[in-house]
Amino acid sequence: MKDRGISSMQCSRRRFLSGASVALAGTICRGNPLWLPGQVHGPAPTASGVHVFSKHLQWLDYQGMAEVAAEIGFDGVDLTVRPGGHVLPQRAEEDLPKAVEAIKKAGLQPLMMTTAINDPDDPLTTSILKTAGALGIRTYRMGYYRYRDDTPVETTLQEIKPRMRDLAALNAQFGIAGSYQNHAGNGYVGAPLWDLVWLLRDLDPRWIGSQYDIRHATVEGGTSWPTTLRLLAPHVNTLVAKDFLWAQDGGKWRTQNCPLGEGMVDWKQYFSVLDRQRIVTPFSLHLEYPIGGAEHGRKELTADKNVVVEAMRRDLSTLKNWLKQRSL
């Protein structure tokens, strides 16, 4: 999705959405309003629901992807519906139902998808959200917004705020929630986390919220991430699991992705904070460390497929063991 300036927003769409209610909900189950039983689309998934990020299975077609995910033991699939993904945005109306059918046939939950959506005026936004909502997909990860060196930070946030408000209204119309992932790195809106809290604080958490990524939060927040997680907690509607460590490369310290439990993330403290804040949502499992190109979403692998499958199986087992120990 193309990231366009605020001046390009269409007045007709603003008039249409002006009557939509996107005020903060009167009552919130902290951290997971979307996943309460009886809301939106039937029964909620379990607290231990883990969905594989289908980016890592793009070397397989819909049926193969779903069957491998089920065989490994995942509860569902976080489906890529974006440029270069399993489903191309321009073909969502035709291909998304096929992908969802394959996921369901394998006995998995098609509740999550990852997109590049960040513009409510893009014609593909309505097409994707309408199709996904009708198929029962509950959340979609949004595309990113970026800070520009030639624009004040406050100006950029003021430009983004109405876009997120209007996306929330579209989401409410189609029964699906947006989820903005905090991503580490200079220039990413949401990396500091306080900016994401500001963008979300007046919006209905049923329809737009945060996909909290502890890996990226640790990179950016060091040891202060528990404070920002507490601040963001009422808006968290999905979680991401992945790990990293700092390593020297060419005389510079850089992040290096690694299997769960082998890096810098303090998982014990993380789950303690999640429990205290009563954040109970499904996880999307990401494997960003080297596994034959699957970490980058390659269509062809440079390693035996069993290497990819076993890496997924190992990280899934690790995460599910941690989830069994939760105190909720």
d(CA 156, CA 146): 8
Domain ranges of the chain: 43-324
Mean pLDDT calculated for residue range 162-176: 97
Q: What is the pLDDT of residues 112-152, one digit of tens each?
A: 999 999 999 999 999 999 999 999 999 999 999 999 999 99
Mean pLDDT calculated for residue range 279-303: 97
To the nearest whole percent, how much of the chain has pLDDT over 90? 83
* Closest C-alpha among 60, 74, 132 to residue 108: 74
pTM for this entry:
0.87
Query: What's the CATH fold of domain 43-324?
Result: TIM Barrel (3.20.20)
| Model pLDDT, residue 169 | 97
To the nearest whole percent, how much of the chain has pLDDT over 70? 85
Q: What is the pLDDT of residues 55-85, one digit of tens each?
A: 999 999 999 999 999 999 999 999 999 999 9
| Model pLDDT, residue 202 | 94
Tokens at residue 325, please? 């120990």
| Model pLDDT, residue 326 | 86
Residues contacting residue 156 through CB under 8 Å, at least 6 positions apart: 145, 147, 148, 189
Residues contacting residue 181 through CB under 8 Å, at least 6 positions apart: 141, 142, 144, 190, 210, 211, 212, 213, 216, 240
Mean pLDDT of the chain: 88
Q: What is the pLDDT of residues 182-203, one digit of tens each?
A: 999 999 999 999 999 999 999 9
Residues contacting residue 301 through CB under 8 Å, at least 6 positions apart: 59, 292, 293, 294, 308
Residue 328 pLDDT grade (very low, low, confident, very high; cuts 50, 70, 90): low
Q: Please determine, for residue 10, whether its predicted confidence score (pLDDT) is greater than 80.
A: no
Residues contacting residue 157 through CB under 8 Å, at least 6 positions apart: 189, 195, 198, 199
More confident residue, 6 or 105: 105
Strand residue runs (E) in 95-161: 109-114, 139-141
Q: Please determine, for residue 32, whether its predicted confidence score (pLDDT) is greater than 70.
A: no
Q: Letter for the amino acid at 294? A: A
Residue 327 pLDDT grade (very low, low, confident, very high; cuts 50, 70, 90): confident
Burial of residue 143 (CB within 10 Å: 0-12, 13-18, 19+) is: buried
Tokens at residue 114, please? 């990852």
Q: What is the pLDDT of residues 90-107, one digit of tens each?
A: 999 999 999 999 999 999
